[in-house]
Amino acid sequence: MALLRRRLKLVVTVMMVNLFIFILISRQSSQDKSGRHKVTIPSTSFWAKMTPSPAFWNRQQQILDLHNNPILTANYSAADMPDWLNETVLNTDQFDCKPNLKVTTRVKDYNSLPDRFKDFLIYMHCRSHPITVDQPNICKEPPFLLLAVKSLSPHFDRRQAIRESWGRAGLIANHTVVTIFLLGNATAGDHHPDLSEMLRHESALHRDIIQWDYRDSFFNLTIKEVLFLEWIQTRCSGARFVFKGDDDVFVNTYRILDFLAGLSEPKARDLFVGDVITNAGPHREKKVKYFIPESMYTGTYPPYAGGGGYLYSGDVAARLHNVSQHVALYPIDDVYTGMCLRKLGLAPEKHKGFRTFNIEEKYRSNPCAYKSLMLVHPRTPQEMIQIWAWLRSPDLNCQ
């Protein structure tokens, strides 16, 4: 015991000596030869001059970041504001969304871009669109799990297959499940036939269609994301968890409910899981579906979950809704959601149960291959019904 005390005393003594030496050196280094304290003057100004990014999306985000930062705004007077900081990034007149033709001169290669980019850019500031079909009472009893499926008007067979399989609403495994389908407007300009009468009949029959009046295109999936997040807060804010995915995936609803039931409260609150893609960036090859030109975006993408389907908490849904107002719209919806998560200080978590790039071909006809999975993409309507029948069979033995 005496030896231990002597060792402890020695350690404390050495630490005190080192602290004294550190203070002495620090004190001397802050004085010049005459003994006076030196004043360190920064070589650059604390608030660096903002210079616009040459890429249009990045520049729009710079503008949003400035306007939403009271500290930065306080350091700029109206006279000091450069002209580029006054570009319009949001539509202030709800439901009156006119094309922003100024964009045509602010994106250097606008005229040579494919039409889908031109359409996105001139309406990029629009976030509000009227809802034409709604189900205001669908969440009257707050669901444990809300299944929100992105669909297109002509995809009747996919929606019906989902209703008859993994999207069957009601009480499943002692948890309330609600299913909705998210649609825009399939316009004649995109060569879609007029299916509005059939859609009205479907909506009246099943009461699970949510539709907004905007052009339902690939680049406008981000609009669908923003409108859906707003819809949750007004119609289904009590949903404990949300699954959002495409209408060509198979979802093992039983496995998802089992997974959610086993989460601890802190884990459940910040939940966002899926098939996460990291260290990715925009495709520069024009023939690729996800092509993004350098005039549109520069930099890498934040981690994001593949848009085939992901799972998150109702709490995260509310936070995503709020933060989305501070993130400029981007033409790829799953990347946009990743941008919003980064703004929140959250990162999506990769889960091996999400297979947005399919499973090995040799396992696709094996019922047991789906039992531990949450999502597989892609699957036809017939395959959805077949897999669901496999999983519900009392004879299924996967030991």
Indicate the residue among 98, 122, 146 that finishes a domain: 122
Strand partners, 350: 274
Q: Which domain holds residue 342?
A: 131-392
Give ∠ CA 177-178-182 in degrees, rounded to 5: 145
Tell me whether residue 7 is in a domain.
no
Asked whether the predicted pLDDT for residue 50 surpasses 80, the reply is: no
pLDDT at 92: 47
Name the residue with higher pLDDT: 72 or 271. 271
Distance of CA 100 to the CA centre of its chain: 25
pLDDT band of 14, cuts 50, 70, 90: low
pLDDT band of 201, cuts 50, 70, 90: very high
CATH code for the domain of 259:
3.90.550.50
How far apart (Å, rounded) are the C-alpha atoms in residues 276 and 348? 7
Least confident piece of the model among 14-23, 209-218, 321-330, 375-384: 14-23
Torsions phi, psi of 127, nearest 5? -125, -15
**Most confident stretch, 4-8, 74-78, 188-192:** 188-192
pLDDT band of 368, cuts 50, 70, 90: very high
Strand partners, 31: 37
> Looking at residues 123-145, what average pLDDT do you find?
96
- Provide the percentage of residues in the chain whose pLDDT is more than 70: 81
Least confident piece of the model among 24-38, 232-246, 286-300, 380-394: 24-38
Q: Are residues 278 and 304 in the same domain?
A: yes
Q: Are residues 94 and 143 in the same domain?
A: no
Asked whether the predicted pLDDT for residue 2 surpasses 90, the reply is: no
Indicate the residue among 122, 144, 164 that finishes a domain: 122
How far apart (Å, rounded) are the C-alpha atoms in residues 199 and 211? 10
Q: Are residues 191 and 226 in the same domain?
A: yes
Q: Are residues 90 and 213 in the same domain?
A: no
Domain count, the chain: 2
Please state whether 299 falls in left (phi above 0), alpha (psi between -120 and 50) or beta.
Answer: left
Q: Are residues 379 and 274 in the same domain?
A: yes
Classify residue 38 by its DSSP letter. Answer: P
Q: Are residues 263 and 180 in the same domain?
A: yes
Q: Are residues 82 and 143 in the same domain?
A: no
- Provide the percentage of residues in the chain whose pLDDT is more than 90: 74
Indicate the residue among 122, 147, 177 that finishes a domain: 122
Q: Are residues 217 and 351 in the same domain?
A: yes
What does 211-253 look like in DSSP terms, one character per residue?
A: EEEEE--STTHHHHHHHHHHHHHHH-TT-SEEEEEETT-EE-H
pLDDT band of 69, cuts 50, 70, 90: confident
pLDDT band of 30, cuts 50, 70, 90: very low
Asked whether the predicted pLDDT for residue 82 surpasses 80, the reply is: no
What does 250-309 look like in DSSP terms, one character per residue?
A: EE-HHHHHHHHHT--HHHHHT-EEEEEE-S---B--TTSTTB--TTT--SPPPPEEEEEE
- How confident is the model over 301-352, as pLDDT tens digits? 999 999 999 999 999 999 999 999 999 999 999 999 999 999 999 999 999 9
Q: Are residues 167 and 274 in the same domain?
A: yes
- How confident is the model over 230-287, as pLDDT tens digits? 999 999 999 999 999 999 999 999 999 999 999 999 999 999 999 999 999 999 998 9
Asked whether the predicted pLDDT for residue 8 surpasses 60, the reply is: no
Q: Give the chain's mean pLDDT.
A: 89
Tell me whether residue 398 is in a domain.
no
Nearest to 227 by CA among 304, 118, 309, 336: 336
pLDDT at 198: 96
> Looking at residues 110-132, what average pLDDT do you find?
94
Q: Are residues 118 and 135 in the same domain?
A: no
pLDDT band of 15, cuts 50, 70, 90: low
Asked whether the predicted pLDDT for residue 12 surpasses 60, the reply is: no
